[in-house]
Amino acid sequence: MQALLSVLAPVIGFFHDNFYMIVAVAGVTIAVFLTFNITILSLKKIKFEILPYYPFDRFSPESGKWSVLYFFIVVLFLGALIYLLIRGNFNFGPA
């Protein structure tokens, strides 16, 4: 029993020291996963027959996941851009 505890002590210490960070990462991961799945489910419910004058089927392949992934990539890029502008002390104005 003592050998098992001595092996698990560093692992338990790691989780104890980084508990809040682990919870935050897990929370963000769950939120992104749920948002992605809800968005995919709503995209699957789109009926293309409602607007026959706009041919959705020409632009969207069999799955709508590509557009959701594109949206997340754009959001991440813009978020990173804003973060870098704030952290880099860039100011808009004359040089």
C-alpha torsion sign, points 51, 56, 58, 61: negative
pTM of the predicted model, to two decimals? 0.44
In a domain, 9, yes or no: yes
pLDDT over 70 (residue 49): no
Domain span at 33: 2-87
Closest CA to 48 of 37, 39, 60: 60
Task: Supply the pLDDT for residue 26.
Answer: 95
- Split into its structural domains, the chain has a count of 1
DSSP character at residue 76: H
Task: Supply the pLDDT for residue 62.
Answer: 58
In a domain, 62, yes or no: yes
pLDDT over 70 (residue 57): no
| Segment among 6-20, 34-48, 50-64 with least mean pLDDT | 50-64
In a domain, 21, yes or no: yes
Task: Supply the pLDDT for residue 61.
Answer: 57
pLDDT band at 87 (very low <50, low <70, confident <90, very high): confident
pLDDT over 70 (residue 94): yes
Task: Supply the pLDDT for residue 45.
Answer: 81
Task: Supply the pLDDT for residue 67.
Answer: 73
